Amino acid sequence: MTEAIDHLAAVLTPSDSTVVSLGAAGAAAFQEGYFLLGRLLAPKAKLPGFKGTIPTIWHIRSGLTIQDTGELFVFQFESASMRTRIMHGGPWFYRNTMLVVGEYDGLGPVESVPLNLMEAWVFVKGLPIALRNKVALSMVGSSIGHVVRFDLNALKSKEEEQRIKIVFYVRRRIRTWMIFEFSSVVKLELVLIYEKVKGFCPECGLFLHDALGCDKTLVKEKEAIKAKPLAAAMAGLSLSSEA
Ligand SMILES: [Zn+2]
């Protein structure tokens, strides 16, 4: 390394210009690095122990450096494989707070990297055996995010619990109870369990409340759905009593 620097020093001369063009030699300055950017879904200040603990969570003893930049972290890994494992081996959380990660080139402004996607396995419960297939799972998966893959073993053996790997947008509500109308007669209540995903509010499905607090959207939706058949039944009752 010292030799390379000596060599560059011999080639480059002091510049008397504001703009220094390094030409082809400039490429030598790019350090080999495998970066990820990370953002916790809660203010950093509330989780001071994160930086010291995350290498343990990731089972990395050496080859990782972490830098703070505002509310974000820049992780630098010594190898591409280590970075891939962290990028796709999640979801990652610290205490009850999720960490969102995204690829970064180490050059551009960190604010330009969108950190809103999370990859997780989602368990799907409630599909009858005739709907434990790829087509039905694609429809369910696509309604909550981008489908990456299915658990082929669970599909093959038509297990009651199916699994879909999904990339989802963390600012959307997480619904763990949904109704899917596969036809006018087949309406199913499905339970969705997001594996290793923590810290979202069960009443509104959001990771973070705004200044107004919880709007309880999911509770209201469920109440409205549950009230419908009752209202229909009541209407039926009143009709029959009139007759
Ligand atoms: Zn809430």
Q: What tens digit of pLDDT does each residue of 22-66 get?
A: 777 777 777 778 999 999 999 988 999 999 999 999 999 999 999
Of the CA atoms within 13 Å of residue 45, those in its CB half-sphere come to 1
d(CA 210, CA 221): 20
* Cβ(204)–Cβ(173) below 8 Å: yes
Q: How far is the CA of 197 from the centre of ligand 1 (A)?
A: 16
Q: How far is the CA of 88 from the centre of ligand 1 (A)?
A: 28
Q: Kindly state the tokens that stand for 78.
A: 């010594």
* Cβ(179)–Cβ(225) below 8 Å: yes
Task: Look at the alpha carbons of 7, 8, 14, 16 in this order and tell me if their dihedral is positive or negative.
Answer: positive
CA 90 → CA 108, 223, 233, 241, distances in Å? 25, 34, 46, 58
Q: How far is the CA of 47 from the centre of ligand 1 (A)?
A: 21
CATH of 117-230, one of 1.50.10, 1.10.3470, 3.30.70, 1.10.490: 3.30.70
Confidence at residue 199, expressed as pLDDT on a 0 to 100 scale: 95
Q: How far is the CA of 195 from the centre of ligand 1 (A)?
A: 20
Q: Which residues belong to CATH 3.30.70.330 in the chain?
A: 31-112
Confidence at residue 121, expressed as pLDDT on a 0 to 100 scale: 97
Q: How far is the CA of 20 from the centre of ligand 1 (A)?
A: 53
Q: How far is the CA of 150 from the centre of ligand 1 (A)?
A: 30
Q: How far is the CA of 1 from the centre of ligand 1 (A)?
A: 54
Confidence at residue 21, expressed as pLDDT on a 0 to 100 scale: 80
Ordered per-residue pLDDT tens for the chain, 243 residues: 566 667 666 667 777 888 878 777 777 777 778 999 999 999 988 999 999 999 999 999 999 999 999 999 999 999 999 999 999 999 999 999 999 999 998 888 998 888 999 999 999 999 999 999 999 999 999 999 999 999 999 999 999 999 999 999 999 999 999 999 999 889 999 999 999 999 999 999 999 998 999 999 999 999 998 887 766 666 666 555 444
* Count of beta carbons in the 10 Å neighbourhood of residue 28: 12
d(CA 126, CA 190): 5
* Count of beta carbons in the 10 Å neighbourhood of residue 112: 8
* CATH T-level topology, domain 31-112: Alpha-Beta Plaits (3.30.70)
Q: How far is the CA of 198 from the centre of ligand 1 (A)?
A: 13
Residue 172: which residues within 8 A CB-CB, separation 6 or more?
205
Confidence at residue 5, expressed as pLDDT on a 0 to 100 scale: 67
Q: How far is the CA of 116 from the centre of ligand 1 (A)?
A: 18
Confidence at residue 242, expressed as pLDDT on a 0 to 100 scale: 47
What would the 3-class secondary structure string for the chain be?
CHHHHHHHHHHCCCCCCCCCCCHHHHHHHCCCCEEEEEEECCCHHHCCCHHHHHHHHCCCCCCEEEEEECCEEEEEECCHHHHHHHHHCCCEEECCEEEEEEEECCCCCHHHCCCCEEEEEEEEECCCHHHCCHHHHHHHHHHHCEEEEECHHHHHCCCCEEEEEEEEECCCCCCCEEEEECCCCCEEEEEEEECCCCCCCCCCCCCCCECCECCCHHHHHHHHHHHHHHHHHHHHHHHHHHC
Q: How far is the CA of 163 from the centre of ligand 1 (A)?
A: 26
Q: How far is the CA of 204 from the centre of ligand 1 (A)?
A: 4
Q: Beta partners for 213?
A: 210
Q: How far is the CA of 207 from the centre of ligand 1 (A)?
A: 8
Amino acid at 144: I
pTM of the complete model? 0.82
What phi and psi values does residue 24 have, to the nearest 5 degrees? -65, -30
Q: How far is the CA of 137 from the centre of ligand 1 (A)?
A: 28
